[in-house]
A and B are shown apart, each in its own frame.
Chain A
Amino acid sequence: MRYCKLLLPAFIFFTLFSCEKEVTLNLSHEPTLCLNCILNPDSMISASLSISKALNASGDFESVNNASVLLYEDGSLFGELQRTGNGNYRLNKKPSVSKNYKIVAQAPGYTSVTATTIVPRFPEVATTRDTTAEELNPQGIHSTYSYIVFDLNVQLFDKPGADNYWLYSSWIVNDRRYGGGCHPINAPFVDTFNRIIDSEEKYGFRHFLQIRIFDEGYDGETLAFTIPDFVKYSAEVNNELGYQYFLNADEHYDKYIKTTIMNRMKETSELPFYEPIQIYSNIENGYGIFGSCAITAVKL
């Protein structure tokens, strides 16, 4: 809304004077290894390898199935990831919290790629609920089903050291599971990078796609906040709440998520001459991400 109005003079100018034509830009690009791997202490280790391509090249990404992918833990070989097809690799081991991991992937014809990560600790969370509204004996056409509206009061016990928390939830509608996003949170430690003013929202703003909490200025403290307005319907409605997740990401995965969201914000903005965001990558000699996270889930 604001963009449009800000750009009224530009719009006038563009309408009067601008000329638009389709162009083919010379976008040359050297195909390069792309490695994606996020370590999670709750999961076996998996990675994928593919080849990057020029923006105007057609077709899907080429998978790399003949690579050697080695994982080191605190300097010692932890294991070699086995090929499972379609560019995927797997190691039937789980990483450990606070350990340092290094990955090295080599594929014939490409420069080998490498990256490191330190697995963050699990978020320590305590929650309580406050019911804010309920309709248990519905009558009339607009209140067919019983429901309860509640706020989830969260205490996130931060530990000394930098932590980057991402919040998301899951839910089920018509037996189909969905996930992502989060209800708006009004707390000073919530990152504002994707906050958008919206007077129709509860706090006058919303967050684009995800919510990020960072502990700068609150390091080692208990971060108390409320996630408002969960609606729990009666059993006859095929619509149920799942889990509220608290993900602690290492610095690389954190930047990767953040730049991805920012880029999407730019892409969907109404500003015609926006400058895109460089997607963060910590892969040396290649692209993609090698990061880690630890997730705590709370049943809603």
Chain B
Amino acid sequence: MKKYIFLTPAFFLPFLISAQNKFTVSGYVSDYTSGERLIGATVYNSATGKGAVCNNYGFFSLSDKEGNSTLVFQFVGYKKKRVELNLTKDTLLNIRLERGIEIEEVEVKGFHIKQNNPELSTLNQPKITMQTIETAPVILGEHDVLKTLQFLPGIKQGAENTAGFNVRGGSADQNLILLDGVPVYNVNHMMGFFSVFNTDAIKNVNFIKGGIPARYGGKLSSILDISMKEGNLKESSGIFSISPMAARFTYEAPIKQDTAAFIVSLRRTFFDIPMVAFEKINGENGSFGYNFYDINIKTNWILNPKNRLYFSFYTGKDKQFATTKEKDSKTIYNYRWGNFTSVFRWNKVFTSKLFSNTSIYYSLYNHNELIKIEENNKLTLFKTSSDLQDIALKSDFDFYVSPQYTIRFGGKLSQLVFNPNIIQVKDAESDISFNDENKTRATQSEIYFENAFDLQKLKLNIGARLSGYSTGKTKYLNFQPRLSANLELSSKLNMSASYTKMAQNIHLLTNSSLGMPTDLWVASTDRVGPQEASQATFGLSRQIQKDYTISVEAYYKWMKDVVRFDEGAAFLDTKESSWDKNVLVGDGKAYGVEWMVQKNSGNLTGMLSYTLSWSERRFDGLNHGRWFPFKFDRRHDVSLLATYKFKKYYEKIRSLSIGFTLQSGNNISLPDFEYAGLLTPGREFNYYHDSWETVRQTYDHPNNFRMPAFHHLDIGYNIVKQKTDRKSITWTFSVYNVYNRMNPWYYQKDKNDKIKQVSLFPFFPSVGFTYRW
């Protein structure tokens, strides 16, 4: 009974807060020249300091007392705009901000209005801007969201220069990666060396790794929410970029001015062109090559001030091909993999305080391999395919009860279809299929409820998510409470804490950690249930002088029912197998402390961070059930990403950027000792035995060997020449691995049993060119 008495004030608090206000100003904040909605723009009453932040669709709602007031709208990189109002009724405002003086954080009456999720610390929700991504030094001239993220504390890259990342001791499949709200299941091109996200088409990146609000769910470790540009509502514009790796072209224009617009963005690599040309010139009887491409399309239509429709589409494919022709035979080899996502969204403003977004989306990831041999009119076919389809309907509501209290709630219903590793072998005599029994359907339903309080010094978000999952006769229900709080101890010192419980119903089966196309998404079954994780964080953040912020945060994460392949099992092998008989289910734990210094304004901006962390796993059927280090258990990690902007000179803006990473090496399983072994059954009859038969080379526990420290320094130099107000040319020069550090990518034994270290990325200069109009 006592606990209910204790909870009573909390129940009535929202209503007490809401009772003080009368009218509401609501609307959208957008870019003056393009009409692009500005996610995270802020609005505040200059007299009272009460404020609001625009949501993911640029919508804000601010309630205030009747009478005259001055509202100030602002956003990073834009000029402030003041609007005088005589508030006598609920008012709808559409505000356009002009690009101008950059401001980094809004200061109102001694406290800060943060852009998104003010209850989260800067380490739980590190800010990463498109400007940072576009100026960071890169390899092969391709800017990459996922690689830039890897400079943040608590985020470890997988293998060198791959887009896969591990957050706070979690595995790469535990990151929810959304493109316009749609999960993207494979984010890798070319074995993970490049991500599928074309930076020219991206408007905003929001990344959360702790205190994850209840509106997000489905993965254990982090949320990466990427929003595509919407399309220019005012006038046509475009971007053409070229790098040694690929060319990109983006075009956006109004369909009807101020009402509807579209954007199209294309990217394609050049890898196959010189190969095919060479083969043609040499008159080869066949061809081989590799390429990938991405296509992003988005349109939006403002029906009226209260209704807006969006349609987004993305597809990207990697393709390997090889054809050989001889007199009586022809062999065709094709291997393709890629994503297809599309989403239809409807933004609806029901009242000045109630905003909703309803989406219906479809996401597909598939890979197909085909080997076709035609010989003397006989056909032999070998075909494998895997796919994951996700169809969902979801609705999200933001109810702005008062400037101090916002309720967010919603739900999602999705149908998942898994067809992993379906194999067909066909010839004149037989037609055999394998793994048809692996086909699975699953239904997922989720609801959530968030209470966000902004009590001046205390920002609080209390919520929960309930997820139901059913496949066949198996059902799982997971209740996931979420709590995050940020307390302003003084005008410059903040303390934050959070607790998050997450559940993940789907699993990625991988044993390469490289983002291989053969990595398989599979559904939870009666044998392998959902993964679960709980994470607690505690942090402090202090502003030093005007520009610097120093933050520290500790975290502890428990993981339950994490999966990994059983020893030796892998879908890289073309063999029949039911996947859930080949995996081990176990526990994980990860803990650590992150430090970060950020400089957000001035000519020099950037961040320097250090992370001390541990991550371990335990499986009953492995290593005698004892804990062992996770592959990416990197004890130390120092990262620096900084940009210095030089003074504008003859319409040229130049900047120099530096990226530096120093980390403990990855853990690998490497045999480090040997002992006498027994022959396998029947081999004792033989008079001769190979050495491997009588010697066992092995290791004491998985991931027993830590590779040498991993570090490299990268430098980028950008020149932007502003030709007119609209037209600009950008040259990007980058040097990856300036001092030519040979970081080991993997080890292998040669024929003489000597161990060879293979390094992939030595000193590597590159140049990129961008033309905007």
Chain A residues with a Cβ under 8 A of chain B: 2-3, 5-6, 8-10, 12-14, 17-25, 27-29, 32, 34, 36, 38, 48, 50-55, 61, 166, 168-170, 176-181, 192-197, 199, 203-205, 209-210, 242, 245, 247, 256-267, 271-273, 275-279, 287-289, 293
Contacts and interface: CB of A to CB of B under 8 A. Distances in A.
Nearest to B568: A262
Given A21-B742, A22-B757, A260-B677, 16 more contacts: A2-B369, A6-B518, A13-B193, A18-B758, A20-B758, A20-B759, A55-B671, A178-B686, A196-B574, A197-B425, A257-B681, A263-B698, A265-B568, A267-B692, A275-B669, A278-B567
A199 B434 CA distance: 13
A208 to B, nearest CB: 9
B329 interface: no
Contact of A50 (B572, B676, B764): B676
Interface string B742-773: 10111110100011111111101000000000
Nearest to B373: A199
15 contacts: A3-B572, A8-B320, A14-B760, A17-B764, A21-B757, A22-B757, A23-B755, A53-B675, A55-B674, A180-B685, A210-B680, A262-B568, A263-B698, A276-B697, A278-B669
Contacts of A166: 681
Contacts of B764: 17
Given A261-B680, A275-B511, A204 B674 contact: no
B84 interface: no
B290 interface: yes
A75 B349 CA distance: 78
B696 A180 contact: no
B333 interface: yes
A11 B490 CA distance: 57
B320 A27 contact: no
B761 A23 contact: no
A20 B756 CA distance: 6
For B427, B573, B677, the residue with the greatest tally of chain A CB atoms inside 10 Å of its CB is B573
Contacts, number: 222
Contacts of A199: 380, 382, 425, 427
B577 interface: yes
Given A8-B288, A193-B568, A262-B568, A17 B760 contact: yes
A29 B673 CA distance: 7
B678 A178 contact: no
A261 B682 CA distance: 13
Interface of B: 190-191, 193, 271, 288, 290, 318, 320, 322, 333, 335, 369, 380, 382, 423, 425, 427, 430, 432, 434, 511-512, 514, 516-518, 567-569, 572-577, 582, 622-623, 668-678, 680-687, 692, 696-699, 701-702, 705, 742, 744-748, 750, 754-762, 764
Contact of B668 (A10, A178, A275): A275
A259 B682 contact: no
A205 B757 CA distance: 34
For B320, B574, B676, B705, the residue with the greatest tally of chain A CB atoms inside 10 Å of its CB is B676
A52 B382 contact: no
Contacts of B699: 276, 278
B675 A61 contact: yes
B572 A181 contact: no
A210 B683 CA distance: 10
Contact of B756 (A23, A27, A256): A23
A38 B678 contact: yes
Given A22-B754, A23-B756, A55-B673, A278 B680 contact: no
A196 to B, nearest CB: 6
Given A6-B516, A34-B675, A210-B680, A272 B760 contact: no
B572 A55 contact: no
A242 B685 CA distance: 11
Given A12-B290, A38-B678, A52-B673, A205 B576 contact: yes
Contact of B742 (A19, A48, A54, A176): A19
A247 B568 contact: no
Contact of A5 (B333, B511, B576, B668): B333
Contacts of B744: 23
Contacts of A276: 669-671, 697-699
Given A12-B271, A18-B760, A23-B747, A54 B670 contact: no
Nearest to B291: A9
Q: What 6 A-B pairs come out closest when comparing CB atoms?
A: A179-B685, A262-B568, A168-B682, A179-B682, A273-B746, A52-B675
A234 to B, nearest CB: 23
Contacts of B685: 170, 177-180, 242
Contacts of B701: 278
A273 B512 contact: yes
A273 B756 CA distance: 11
For A180, A258, A266, the residue with the greatest tally of chain B CB atoms inside 10 Å of its CB is A180
Given A178-B685, A180-B682, A204-B430, A196 B742 contact: no
A209 B686 CA distance: 14
A49 to B, nearest CB: 9
A77 to B, nearest CB: 25
B681 to A, nearest CB: 5
Contacts of B677: 36, 260, 279
A298 B516 CA distance: 46
Contacts of A10: 191
A243 B554 CA distance: 65
Given A23-B755, A205-B575, A17 B683 contact: no
Contacts of B670: 25, 276
Contact of A278 (B427, B434, B573, B698): B698
Contacts of A277: 567-568
Contact of B682 (A245, A263, A288): A245
B683 A180 contact: yes
B333 A180 contact: no
A273 B748 contact: yes
B430 A266 contact: no
Contacts of B702: 278
A2 B271 CA distance: 21
Contacts of B757: 20-23
A194 B699 CA distance: 22
Contact of A196 (B432, B517, B573, B672): B573
B681 A195 contact: no
B673 A54 contact: yes
A258 B754 CA distance: 26
A117 to B, nearest CB: 14
B682 A181 contact: yes
For B380, B674, B682, the residue with the greatest tally of chain A CB atoms inside 10 Å of its CB is B682
B576 A195 contact: yes
For B191, B335, B685, the residue with the greatest tally of chain A CB atoms inside 10 Å of its CB is B685
A17 B748 contact: no
A8 B275 CA distance: 13
Contacts of B514: 273
A262 B566 CA distance: 11
Contacts of B680: 180, 209-210, 257, 260-261
A180 B759 contact: no
Contacts of A194: 575
Nearest to B569: A193
Contact of B575 (A19, A24, A196, A275): A196
A34 B335 CA distance: 46
Contact of B758 (A14, A48, A168, A288): A14
Contacts of A266: 568
A197 to B, nearest CB: 4
A192 B674 contact: no
